[in-house]
Amino acid sequence: MRLRAGEVLRLRLLNKLAEPSNLHLHGLHVSPEGNGDNPFVTVEPGSSFDYEYQLPAGHPPGLYWYHPHHHGMVADQIFAGLFGAIVVEDPEPVPASAERILMVSDTSLDAGGNVAEATEPERMAGREGALLLVNGQANPRLAARPGERERWRIVNCCVARYLRLRLDGQELQLLGMDSGRFKSPSDVHEVLLAPGSRAELLVTAAAGESVLRALPYNRGNMPGMAGRGMGLGQPEGAPADPAGTALATLLVAGDPASPAAAVPAGPAPPELGSAVVAARRQLVLATPMGMGGGMGPMGFSINGRTFDENRTDTAVAAGTVEEWTLVNRSPMDHPFHLHVWPMQLIAENGRPVEPAGLRDVVNVPANGRATVRIAFRDFSGRSVYHCHILDHEDLGMMGVIEVR
């Protein structure tokens, strides 16, 4: 879907599955109430629901996506392929000879060719599919001419897999992450995309064949799962290949293109570092210990509690800025996601980070912490925050926020 700031989007979700579902617009800054981006809606099998979303006039341009959000079924439905991209157009276009949207997903098929069911240990670790796909294809071939500048918009739709992306042999610049467009693009060799997050890259094509690869990333492990190495959630005996997995192959050949026009400067990214902080909170992410006995006393939790849609965990005063310290008391990374109101990463493991725009997914490293600031502007209402390892979310690592 392509949208512009200030537009109203009306759509009907018709559920032809044999199980409940619903729809979430990941990253969009829209109301969470009523028939807006309301994660508490249930659309029963065979029924439909009419959503309506009003994008504010100043909605940040960028790459977003949509996917089902019915608690308990999110991982299964995304693993089966239910998702799509949303672009909010730039007010001033970035000159590029081509724009590509790359939705990177993973899935596994059983012997009958159906989407495989995840095992209990796979759900606890966060399942990683045996197939890595770009727009539903295995290693598609892309073509460009030397000198062309392409804009690649990449979404990590995987349920649990982190994507450490490289495109060796090509010149890469990072234009932004999530909805946060940088003031000017910066040269990069590698981009780490936690589940749910997006990167916008400019690729200046150099002659030859280059492979977009997802390299192994160690996101930690669950006690009792030692020995699985970095291929978390993968079948036993499938160690991660250090060369990574080919996602797509870019062939650059033909007549050289004339150089692309300069990239216009983006708006100055919002800076909450000097904002007045109305409240400071700590959110502790925890996983059950002792895999052998299944779920521990607290299961997958935030501040010691598993998800309950009837309980409000965090009440926030509308219009204020808050600082949240996300504490990870587990031996694996958790990508923390907040709906509606984007976050600015302030510090990682206590070390301040340079302001780099707004994110809606922030990685909280294993046994580490991340500090974010959030401006609760424009909208009030109830919504959720959760781990975007969607198996963890389905197992209860999610909380309810109410802005009022």
* Binding residues for ligand C2O (CB under 6 A): 24, 26, 67, 69, 196, 337, 339, 384, 386, 388
Among candidate residues 43, 74, 37, the one with its CA nearest the CA of residue 394: 74
- DSSP 8-state assignment for residue 276: P
Minimum distance from residue 163 beta carbon to Cu ion (Å): 16
Burial of 320 (0-12, 13-18, 19+ CB in 10 A): middle
Residue 35 Cα to chain centre, angstroms = 23
Q: How far apart are CA 235 and CA 128, in angstroms?
A: 9
Distance separating alpha carbons of residues 130 and 141, to the nearest angstrom: 20
Nearer to ligand C2O (CB atom), residue 69 or residue 151: 69
Nearest approach in angstroms of CB 337 to Cu ion is 5
| Residue 135 CB, nearest approach to Cu ion (Å) | 21
Which residue, 232 or 272, has its beta carbon nearer to Cu ion? 232
Question: Is 339 or 359 the residue whose CB approaches ligand C2O more closely?
Answer: 339
Considering only the C-alpha atoms of the chain, give the largest distance between any 2 of them, rounded to a whole number of Å: 64
- Partner touching 334 among Cu ion, ligand C2O, none, CB below 5 to 8 Å by kind: Cu ion
Q: Give the footprint of Cu ion on this chain (CB under 5 A).
A: 26, 334, 339, 387, 389, 392
Minimum distance from CB of 268 to ligand C2O (Å)?
Answer: 27
Shortest separation between residue 24's beta carbon and ligand C2O, angstroms: 5
CA–CA distance, 158 with 126 (Å, rounded to integer): 10
For the chain, what is the radius of gyration of the CA atoms? 21
Could you say which of Cu ion, ligand C2O, none residue 149 binds, taking C-beta under 5 to 8 angstroms by partner kind? none
Taking the complex as a whole, the smallest distance from the CB of residue 25 to Cu ion amounts, in Å, to 8
Q: To which residue do tokens 């062939």 refer?
A: 251
Partner whose footprint covers residue 382, from Cu ion, ligand C2O, none (CB < 5 to 8 Å by kind): none
Partner from ligand C2O, Cu ion, none binding residue 151, C-beta < 5-8 Å depending on class: none
User: What is the separation, in whole angstroms, between the first and last Cα of the chain?
Assistant: 30
Give the span between the Cα atoms of 117 and 109, in whole angstroms: 9
Nearest residue (beta carbon) to ligand C2O? 26
387 binds, among ligand C2O, Cu ion, none (CB under 5 to 8 A by kind): Cu ion
Nearer to ligand C2O by C-beta: 59 or 69? Answer: 69
Rounded-to-integer distance, Cα 345 and Cα 161, Å: 21
